[in-house]
Structure 1
């Protein structure tokens, strides 16, 4: 199989699959370049209400393809940062479904997702110290925001791998599932996500990510919007709400 990003949309959930099994789903330069454009297209699709990022087979992503680093380390890192930022900026909930190794660039992508669910036996590592690479500032800050400075330094200084249970304890992972149960749990949880108010989710995502320039924007939308009226009515009538607000395609 040629290295590529596969994707499909079902039940309002877009699934993006990192597919490069010959190198444990390592990201090539072409894959890094393709990810922002793919995310833009999925963000603009009104059918899509959540996104899952995962890897082909039993590995999430073993990092960047080392051959791309050898050719041009600066370019490779620049491409990874653009992909990471595009994933972090995706306007709808994102979830990394992790099996096996989630290392280097793979950990960078997983950290850029809103949530991370992992199968037992998964391994997480941030390994630039093994290659003499300065980890990107954006990725470092994002890692610190997830796990705190002490664990971020442990990972960055040593390049050691964390098992799924320790990743859960540090906040790097949100849920750990028994072998064979990850897909079922991700499907179950994304069904919950797509049933909830996109208005609530979009505002909460910006607030949680530290954006402060849109407080007035969200306060304005909160006043008298249809989702609030529908949510209250559904609660009082003991039925499932039918939320209609959608993320504008322009962001």
Structure 2
């Protein structure tokens, strides 16, 4: 089967699957190129309230397909950066569900998600030093923001893989689940995400990612949304809130 991105939407959660099992879901140029328009499509879908990125089978992503680097490594890196930035800019909560190897370009994509849940036994690595590649500045800054400069340098300088225990301790992942427990936990947690206010989530995502010029915008959105009134009323009535503000307008 040709390398591709699979996707579907169930119960307001979009799932994007990196599918290249012959090479442990390594990203081809075509896969990098296909990700931004797919994300645009899912972002515009009012039925989507959260997104999960995962890999086919028992691995997340082993990086870039090295065979694609022989022709034009600069072009491949540009495609990877565009895909990474599109994922980071997705306006709804994103979660990487990681099994097996999450290496190189796979780690780049996982770091661009808002959250990362991993199954015990997963391995993480940022491996450009093994290939003589300059890791993109955007990806480097994002990695530093997650794990701090010391761990980022350890990963980038050495290209060594780390296990889930160290990934959790350094902040690279948010939760580690027992074997066969990842899918259930991701489904449970995304049910929580889609029940919450998209207004709160969208504003928090921008603020957490460093936007400092949007306070007035989000204050106006909050005043006109009705979400605050609904949230307070639902709390006082002892019921689940029915939030109506959406990123899709």
What range describes the TM-score normalised by the shorter chain of this pair?
over 0.9
- The aligned counterpart of 1:231 is 231
Deviation at 1:213, TM superposition (A): 2.1
Whole-angstrom CA distance in 2 between matches of 1:22 and 1:43: 30
**129-138 vs 208-217, which deviates more?**
208-217
**136-145 vs 214-223, which deviates more?**
214-223
Whole-angstrom CA distance in 2 between matches of 1:141 and 1:153: 11
1:167-213 Cα distance to aligned partner (Å, 9 max, x none): 00000000000000000000000000000000000000000000112
Deviation at 1:27, TM superposition (A): 0.2
4+ residue stretches of structure 1 with deviation over 3 A? Answer: none
- The aligned counterpart of 2:98 is 98
Whole-angstrom CA distance in 2 between matches of 1:101 and 1:71: 25
Alignment of 1:212-227 (within 5 A): 212-223=212-223, 225-227=225-227
- The aligned counterpart of 2:180 is 180
1:37-88 Cα distance to aligned partner (Å, 9 max, x none): 0000000000000000000000100000001111111000000000000000
- The aligned counterpart of 2:116 is 116
Deviation at 1:220, TM superposition (A): 1.5
Deviation at 1:215, TM superposition (A): 1.6
Whole-angstrom CA distance in 2 between matches of 1:81 and 1:224: 36
- The aligned counterpart of 2:165 is 165
Deviation at 1:248, TM superposition (A): 2.9
Deviation at 1:223, TM superposition (A): 2.5
Deviation at 1:222, TM superposition (A): 2.1
The alignment covers a number of residue pairs equal to 249
- Secondary structure, in 3 states, of the residue corresponding to 1:77? helix
1:86-139 Cα distance to aligned partner (Å, 9 max, x none): 000000000000000000000000000000000000000000000000000000
The unaligned stretches of length 5 or more in structure 2 are none
- 1:13 aligned onto 2:13: yes
- The aligned counterpart of 1:37 is 37
Whole-angstrom CA distance in 1 between matches of 2:108 and 2:135: 10
Deviation at 1:224, TM superposition (A): 5.4
TM-score for the superposition, normalised by structure 1: 0.98
Alignment of 1:41-190 (within 5 A): 41-190=41-190
- Secondary structure, in 3 states, of the residue corresponding to 2:70? helix
TM-score for the superposition, normalised by structure 2: 0.99
Deviation at 1:9, TM superposition (A): 0.3
- The aligned counterpart of 2:205 is 205
Whole-angstrom CA distance in 2 between matches of 1:122 and 1:158: 18
- Secondary structure, in 3 states, of the residue corresponding to 1:185? helix
Deviation at 1:221, TM superposition (A): 1.6
Whole-angstrom CA distance in 1 between matches of 2:228 and 2:59: 41
The unaligned stretches of length 5 or more in structure 1 are none
- Secondary structure, in 3 states, of the residue corresponding to 1:180? coil
